[in-house]
Structure formats: structure tokens, C-alpha cells
């Protein structure tokens, strides 16, 4: 197992089983979303390739992307990183389909013909024969999930995909999908300030033996840097549009409490936020996103931050509902009225 030095400790990144179908991944993954824009300007490819190589050398082998990131350029970047490093057999590649951009507008599509063409295009961009974990990125409620899953099942039979995941799906969608073909992982936002999945999604996944992959475990950076992150967001950083990032005066309290406790424990606020997610269970594999070596090392170091039940409760109390103001995602504000958006029965299905 690989090791990484952080805050004076040597941390080994263990391998864990994700879900019940045989997928084994590193206990912490790498979210690659921020590398190709969205969080500010795209970062130079050579730097990101070095970062991906460093992650894999350090034991972080579970790489998370989507055809939407870029769009497309993030998958191409990962494909290059794998090729240049000869890394295909050392990594677990997770990518996603379902969000496509038409005339500059987002459209969610789970139509079987689209599922197949999206998969083939992702394979090409990633320059691999098989996707380890293929997620439905958002649920198209115009197409029954059974129909989308039927095509995914065929892709597994054809060995173009090894395991299937869902992202941002409701508990009932997870159950229906799992009845067609076993779901290996559900990816959902989960962090100290985003805990809405704990009521239904987490128990459903546990009942069905589905692994949980929290994205934005550091609150898109807010739990690492608080107000200073928001003050320094550059033009075009899409976090500016998020309701939570527009209520900084209110929401800074959670960061201040977290930071104060991190100082007491001798770690960083980002590490403490991440450690809280890691402590949710061995079936939980967060994928913090970073574009920096130092932050990657720190995040690996979070695996060595131990929390007592009392500390877990203290952390939980920082994020009670009155402490966090504003929805977690701009999607929450979309409604049927926007003719460009698909018919949304519930934000949970976006």
C-alpha cells in the first residue's frame, strides 16, 4: 500500500470494497471536476497530469470524472494521464453520463440510445476498453429508470462497463434501478453542511449493500477556507451562483467552529471536515476534489485523523439546520417553469 506524508505523519491509503459486486477502490478517491474549469479557470493539463500521477503513487487510485466536466475535456485529461503514466491497471475509473449540453443548455437524458452513445464516447475519450464504475449522473424522469438500466445492463454484458452507479437519485429510484441490475455505488453530496441524504438514501443503500460516494465532502472548499474562499472566487466560478455561497455572513459560523476544533486537534479544517465523512462508515468513500499537491497530501492525511463519538457529536452540532442558510445547489431553484429544464418531480431526482 502507498503512503503519503501529511502534517508529520505517514498515511497509508487502504483499499476498500465499494458495494457488494466486487469493486475494490482506494478508501479516498480524487474528484477531478475542478481541473477543467467550473471552479475558476481550467488548470494546465501538464500540471493536472502530474497531480493525478502523484495521487495514484500515493495510493489514491479511485478517479472520478464525468462527460459533463469540461464538457468532455476532463475525460480526455484523465485518458492522457493514464496513458502517459501506464496507469490503467492501477486505477478505478468512475465516469458519468446523463447531463448533456444542447445549445448551451443542460438537458438530462436517460434514453437507451443516448446511454449507449455516451458510453462509447466516454470510452474513446478516456482511451480505455471498459469503465470501472459508470454512473447515471442525473435521473431523467421522462424515461423510466428501468429502461435506462436495461441498456446499462447490456453494456455490462458487453464488458464496456464493469459496475453501475447512480448519482443524486431518490431512494425509490435506487430501489427500482437495483431490481434491474445491482447498483454498486450511489454518489451524492455529503458533508457536514449537507446531510439531507442521511434520512432515506443512506439507509436504503445500506439495506441493499450499495456503497456511498460523497462528493463535495469539503463543502466545495467552504469548509476548508470559509469566507476567504468566497471573497476570492474568480469570475466564472460557478460556486458564486450557489445560494449557500451568497449567505456567507450567516454560514461562516460553521467554518469558524470547525476551524477552532481543528486547531485544538492539530489538523486543518479541511482534514476535520473530511475525517467526519470518513467516519460515517467503511462503506463510505469520499472523493474530495483538488488541483493542488499540498491539498491532496492534506486530504490523504485526513485518513489518520481519529474522532471519538463525542467529537463526532460536537461536529454534528456545528451544522444544525439553523446554522446553514441557502440551498446546497442551484438546481434546487429550478422548476417546471424553465422550459429548458426537464420535468422535475422532485429536486431529489435531478
Question: Where do contacts with ligand ATR occur on this chain (CB under 6 A)?
Answer: 31, 33-34, 39, 215-221, 224-225, 270, 288-292, 295, 298-299
Q: Which is nearer to ligand ATR, 79 or 289 (CB)?
A: 289
Whole-number minimum distance, CB 73 to ligand ATR, in Å?
A: 16
Strand order in the sheet with 29-31: 29-31, 62-64, 92-97, 131-136, 161-167, 183-189, 211-215
Sign, CA dihedral 166-220-325-302, equals: positive
Whole-number minimum distance, CB 179 to ligand ATR, in Å?
A: 29
b/e 187-213 (16+ beta carbons within 10 angstroms → b):
bbbbbbbbbebeeebbebbeebebbbb
Q: Which three cell numbers stand for residue 227?
A: 469566507
Residues 51, 47: Cα–Cα separation, whole Å: 6
Residues 77, 35: Cα–Cα separation, whole Å: 9
Residues 117, 128: Cα–Cα separation, whole Å: 15
SS3 342: coil
Whole-number minimum distance, CB 48 to ligand ATR, in Å?
A: 10
Whole-number minimum distance, CB 213 to ligand ATR, in Å?
A: 10
Q: Which three cell numbers stand for residue 323?
A: 446554522
**Which residue of the chain is nearest ligand ATR when measured via CB?**
289
Residues 53, 85: Cα–Cα separation, whole Å: 7
Whole-number minimum distance, CB 113 to ligand ATR, in Å?
A: 30
Residues 79, 125: Cα–Cα separation, whole Å: 6
Q: How does DSSP classify residue 288?
A: -
The answer to whether 320 and 144 have CB atoms below 8 angstroms apart is no
Q: Which is nearer to ligand ATR, 98 or 288 (CB)?
A: 288
Task: Reply yes or no on whether 69 is catalytic.
Answer: yes
Whole-number minimum distance, CB 341 to ligand ATR, in Å?
A: 21
Q: Which is nearer to ligand ATR, 134 or 222 (CB)?
A: 222
Q: Which is nearer to ligand ATR, 148 or 188 (CB)?
A: 188
Q: Which is nearer to ligand ATR, 225 or 324 (CB)?
A: 225
Catalytic residue among 39, 69, 163, 215: 69
Beta-ladder partners of 96: 135
Q: Which is nearer to ligand ATR, 152 or 287 (CB)?
A: 287
List, as one string, the DSSP characters of 12-58: E--EEEETTTTEEEESSEEE-GGGBSSSSSBPPHHHHHHHHHHHHHT
Q: How does DSSP classify residue 95?
A: E
Q: Which is nearer to ligand ATR, 110 or 219 (CB)?
A: 219
Whole-number minimum distance, CB 222 to ligand ATR, in Å?
A: 8
Which amino acids are annotated catalytic? 69
Amino acid at each position: 500500500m502507498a503512503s503519503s506524508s501529511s502534517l508529520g505523519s505517514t498515511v497509508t491509503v487502504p483499499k476498500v470494497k465499494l458495494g457488494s459486486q466486487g469493486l475494490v477502490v482506494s478508501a479516498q478517491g480524487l474528484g477531478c471536476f475542478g481541473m477543467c474549469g467550473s471552479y475558476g479557470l481550467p488548470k494546465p493539463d501538464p500540471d493536472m497530469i502530474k497531480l493525478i500521477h502523484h495521487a495514484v503513487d500515493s495510493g489514491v487510485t479511485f478517479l472520478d470524472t464525468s462527460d459533463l466536466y469540461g464538457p468532455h475535456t476532463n475525460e480526455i485529461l484523465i485518458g492522457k494521464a493514464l496513458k502517459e503514466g501506464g496507469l490503467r491497471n492501477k486505477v478505478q475509473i468512475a465516469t458519468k453520463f446523463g447531463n448533456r449540453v444542447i445549445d448551451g443548455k443542460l438537458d438530462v437524458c436517460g434514453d437507451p440510445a443516448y446511454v449507449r452513445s455516451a458510453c462509447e464516447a466516454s470510452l474513446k475519450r478516456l482511451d480505455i476498453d471498459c469503465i470501472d464504475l459508470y454512473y447515471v449522473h442525473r435521473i431523467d424522469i421522462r424515461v423510466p429508470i428501468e429502461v435506462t438500466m436495461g441498456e446499462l445492463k447490456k453494456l455490462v454484458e458487453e464488458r464496456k462497463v464493469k459496475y453501475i452507479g447512480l448519482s443524486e437519485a431518490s431512494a425509490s429510484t435506487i430501489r427500482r434501478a437495483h431490481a434491474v441490475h445491482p447498483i454498486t455505488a450511489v454518489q451524492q453530496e455529503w458533508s457536514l453542511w449537507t446531510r439531507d441524504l442521511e434520512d432515506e438514501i443512506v439507509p436504503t443503500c445500506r439495506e441493499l449493500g450499495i456503497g456511498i460516494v460523497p462528493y463535495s465532502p469539503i463543502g466545495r472548499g467552504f469548509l476548508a477556507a470559509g469566507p476567504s474562499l468566497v471573497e476570492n472566487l474568480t469570475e466564472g466560478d460557478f460556486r458564486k451562483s450557489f445560494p449557500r455561497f451568497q449567505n456567507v455572513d450567516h454560514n461562516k459560523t460553521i467554518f469558524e467552529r470547525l476551524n477552532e476544533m481543528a486547531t485544538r486537534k492539530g489538523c486543518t479544517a479541511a482534514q476535520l471536515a473530511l475525517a467526519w465523512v470518513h467516519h460515517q462508515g467503511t462503506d463510505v468513500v469520499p472523493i474530495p476534489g483538488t488541483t493542488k499537491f499540498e491539498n491532496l497530501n492534506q486530504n490523504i492525511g485526513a485518513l489518520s485523523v481519529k474522532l471519538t463519538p463525542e467529537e463526532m457529536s460536537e461536529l454534528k452540532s456545528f451544522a444544525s439546520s439553523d446554522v446553514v442558510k441557502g440551498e446546497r445547489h442551484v438546481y434546487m431553484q429550478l422548476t417546471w417553469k424553465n422550459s429548458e429544464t426537464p420535468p422535475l418531480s422532485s429536486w431529489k431526482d435531478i
